[in-house]
Amino acid sequence: MRLKNKTVIITGASSGIGRAIAVRFMAEGANIVAVDISADVVEGGRPVIEVLETIGSDAMFLQADIARSDDVERVFKEAQARFGRLDVLVNNAAIHAPSPLAETEEADWDRVMDVNLKGAFLCSREAVRFMLQQDIIDEARGRIVNISSQHGMISAPGDFAYGVSKAGLVYMTKQIAADYAAQNILCNAVAPGKILTGKGGRAVLPETLEYSRSRTPMPRLGTPEDVAKAALFLACNDSTYITGHNLLVDGGWMAA
């Protein structure tokens, strides 16, 4: 119960990695505010709020577009009204526009940046404003965990806008960490490698999976639960003297 009575806002919580984080954190005793633009589950299955309510009663689902400041403000106000305190923000929501630079449309670029970067900016800004007013508990006024990507450090083949957005999120992590460490607000990131979330499309084409397996030293590819475990470490009091770090969860891909 490493997050007992801690309140956590998770964006992109309906599916994949965000869903796994919400479920794991709930099992660790957290109050969960699950945020997504839709309650639909990309990989199929029950809505995340139904799954969370089988674990405990302190969960809520809020539909919101995190690229809109009014939606973000509403999320934080409703979370405050329900739980009073915010201990952790997990910036997980992200989208792709799978094309190289020359084929990336301006509208696709704008939407990727709106969700992946602007959304993280708006949520982090609101979270920091919230956390600065709180007392210090377990050596922190609050924690931010960003879900970045190994493609924030190396190229994302055929996914130009996504890679650039994740590189920006890695920088944002360091800047927030440096700016607010003195106020006991910690900011770190988890950088997943190839994670099998259950969604279809180009990411699970045979040639794509074969390439990922050939690049990953460990004998399997990642799961959303692998990322959730790393996010838990950064969200709880196990990580008391870590801020500005981008934790790779990639089976050794970046070490090879």
Positions annotated as catalytic residues are: 162
Give dist(CA 49, CA 38) in Å, integer. 12
Helices vs. strands in the chain: H and E counts, helices first: 8, 7
The beta strands (E) that lie in 70-148 are given as 88-91, 142-147
CA atoms within 13 A on the CB side of 211: 9
Residues with Cβ within 8 Å of 137's Cβ and at least 6 positions away in sequence, in order, are 87
Closest CA to 18 of 225, 184, 213: 225
Q: Give every CB contact of residue 174 below 8 A, 6+ residues apart in sequence.
A: 244
CA distance 78 to 80: 5
Tell how far CA 182 is from the center of its chain.
24
